């Protein structure tokens, strides 16, 4: 039996929790939103993209509908946003290999790089600052670099969620892989709400044929 909320998404579920696309698909556009992070490390700064995906799933009413897809080594949840279908993806691979899951899911759902959103942490922005832009370089982010390599494109829209950069360069790795401080955790719910608003508004606009953001 399909999880709640998926009856209208045009999907079936097998015993191994694998998903397959059936026709007819929903009448509108289809988008994929991937939260980049490390599986098994929720709550760390490097996995803030996964936290945004969790909030997005709650807003779209599919928070209880995550299911594992072994073909792309990820958890998937599907939702409808108006006439558009939104595929939410949480890779089960480590950050440096997230692109393999994202590219495989894009292939399975028949999506181009321009139809794939990446949500990830950004060292060069303080917590609370967000930026949604089209394409560009990986800017040193290994998860984004993996996606660019596996999709063979840098055209994916990116939602960059600021996590701040420590003063000393040698502290960067510990900062990225560490958990948010108590003070940061107080700010985080509002950040996740704003990030979700930005994603939903942008997807709605593009689904209605409005132009994308510039690079």
Report in angstroms the alpha-carbon separations of 126 from 100, 103, 156, 162.
29, 29, 23, 5
Measuring CA to CA, which residue among 215, 18, 206 is closest to residue 112? 206
Q: Which of 46, 120, 141, 202 is catalytic?
A: 46
Instruction: Phi first, then psi: give them for residue 130, nearest 5 degrees.
Output: -130, 155
Q: Is 202 a catalytic residue?
A: no
Tell me if 30 sits within 8 A of 84, measured CB to CB.
yes
* Residues classed as catalytic: 46
């Amino acid at each position: 039996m399909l999880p709640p909320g998926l009856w209208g998404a045009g999907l079936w579920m097998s015993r191994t929790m694998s998903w397959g696309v059936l026709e007819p698909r929903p009448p509108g556009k289809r988008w994929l939103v991937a939260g980049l992070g490390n599986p098994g490390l929720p709550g760390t700064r490097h996995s803030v993209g996964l936290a945004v995906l969790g909030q997005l799933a709650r807003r779209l009413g599919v928070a209880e509908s995550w299911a594992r897809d072994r073909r792309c080594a990820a958890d998937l949840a599907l939702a409808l946003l108006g006439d558009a279908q939104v595929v939410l993806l949480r890779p089960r691979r480590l950050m440096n290999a997230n692109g393999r899951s994202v590219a495989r899911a894009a292939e399975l759902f028949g999506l181009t790089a321009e139809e794939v959103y990446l949500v990830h942490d950004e060292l060069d922005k303080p917590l609370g600052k967000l930026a949604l832009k089209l394409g560009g370089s990986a800017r040193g982010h290994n998860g984004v670099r993996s996606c660019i390599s596996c999709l063979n494109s840098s055209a994916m829209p990116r939602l960059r969620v600021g996590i701040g950069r420590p003063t000393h360069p040698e502290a960067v790795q510990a900062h990225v892989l560490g958990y948010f401080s108590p003070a940061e955790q107080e700010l985080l719910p509002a950040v996740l709400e704003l990030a979700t608003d930005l994603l939903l508004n942008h997807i709605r606009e593009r689904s209605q044929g409005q132009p994308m953001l510039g690079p």
